[in-house]
Amino acid sequence: MGRFHRHEDGTEHTHTDHEHPHDGGDHSGYATGPERIAVLERIFDENDRQAARNRQRLDAAHVVAINLMSSPGAGKTAILERTFARLDAGRIGVIEGDIETSIDADRLAAAGARVSLLNTANGFGGECHLDAPMVANALDRLDLDGLDMVFVENVGNLVCPAEFDVGAHHSAMVASVTEGEEKPLKYPVMFRASEVVLVNKVDLLPYLDFDLALFERNLAQVNPAATVIRLSARTGEGLDAWLDWIRSRITVTSELNTRSTFA
Ligand SMILES: Nc1nc2c(ncn2[C@@H]2O[C@H](COP(=O)(O)OP(=O)(O)O)[C@@H](O)[C@H]2O)c(=O)[nH]1
Ligand SMILES: [Mg+2]
């Protein structure tokens, strides 16, 4: 479970009950009262309303947005660099979320993309994720009419980004083979929120004990519908499958602008 999350009926709360009691005790550490729940509901409501407005704005400009999430260092920026080298990067926007620095924003601008940087340390309190109001801000600084796609490189974190709809159409995550096979079980909210899981750094497999089959079984337990793409941003292995996945999303969501980016 996330720190806070919603259920199918739209209610949301933090958990104080014993969902996974291995010795009968409550390990949640939460002491949740009604005030805390009311505040969280207001935060989520405001976020969801803004996320819907962001999506409307993107739809109106026929731009498809993909939210890319992972722990720090899994390879989001490296994968985007590789991806942009194969596409018409000038028609791709990036909303780059980092707590500090423009290091990744500069790399992706050098790869030819239009980049709108969000440093969450500046005025946002060093947030561990992007939320819809921040992304609205970043969208203001992109010329959407000149773009076909927007990638949101979310703040590196395996927990918080999965809990906030930023207004993207699709969610993807990177899980690198250096992170361990059990991560889908330990961070199920993010693995469940992702339509596609890019298993990155497969070039390192010969040097690791990582059991890819076990990882995929663990992933299937929490998200059986996820598309799994084995990838190496270093060698380019798997890049074609990733580009095919992107193309299929573009086709489904907006057929109008595919030609320029995917000529
Ligand atoms: N061996 C190997 N290293 C990679 C691969 N992808 C990324 N890296 C390295 O992993 C580190 C973090 O990559 P980066 O793209 O900055 O990750 P991010 O924090 O998710 O954006 C960098 O040193 C990359 O060169 C890969 O496929 N194979
Ligand atoms: Mg990065």
**Closest residue by CA, ligand 1 atom 26:** 201
Q: What pLDDT is recorded for position 260? A: 45
- Please name each of the domains of the chain with its CATH number: 62-255 (3.40.50.300)
What the block records as the tokens of 165 is 């709809």
| N residues, the chain | 263
Pocket test for ligand 1, best of 200, 230, 242 (most atoms within 8 A of CB): 200
Q: Which ligand is nearest to the CA of 76?
A: 1
- What is the chain's percent helix, strand, coil content, to nearest 5? 40, 15, 40
pLDDT at residue 197, rounded to an integer: 98
Ligand 2 mean position to 44 CA, how many Å? 26
Ligand sitting nearest the alpha carbon of 97: 2
Report residue 190 as tokens: 């993010």
Residue 251 confidence (pLDDT)? 66
Residue 22 has a pLDDT of 64
Burial of 243 (0-12, 13-18, 19+ CB in 10 A): middle
Q: What is the pLDDT of residues 103-121, one digit of tens each?
A: 999 999 999 999 999 999 9
Listed as ranges, residues in the chain with pLDDT below 70 are 1-24, 30, 251-263
pLDDT on residue 37: 85
Instruction: Tell me what pLDDT residue 90 has.
Output: 95
Q: What is the per-residue pLDDT across 129-155, written as a single tens digit (0 to 9) for each?
A: 999 999 999 999 999 999 999 999 999
Instruction: Give the Å distance between the CA of 218 and the centre of ligand 1.
Output: 23
Cβ atoms of 182 and 97 closer than 8 Å: no
Token pair for residue 210?
């990582």
- Closest CA relative to residue 157, chosen from 55, 259, 36, 69: 69
Predicted local distance difference test score (pLDDT) of residue 123:
75
Distance of alpha carbon 193 from alpha carbon 187, whole angstroms: 10
Cα-to-centroid distance, 154 and ligand 2 (Å):
8
Q: What is the pTM of this model?
A: 0.88
The binding-site residues of ligand 1, defined as CB within 6 angstroms of any ligand atom, are 70, 72-78, 104, 156, 200-201, 203-204, 232-234
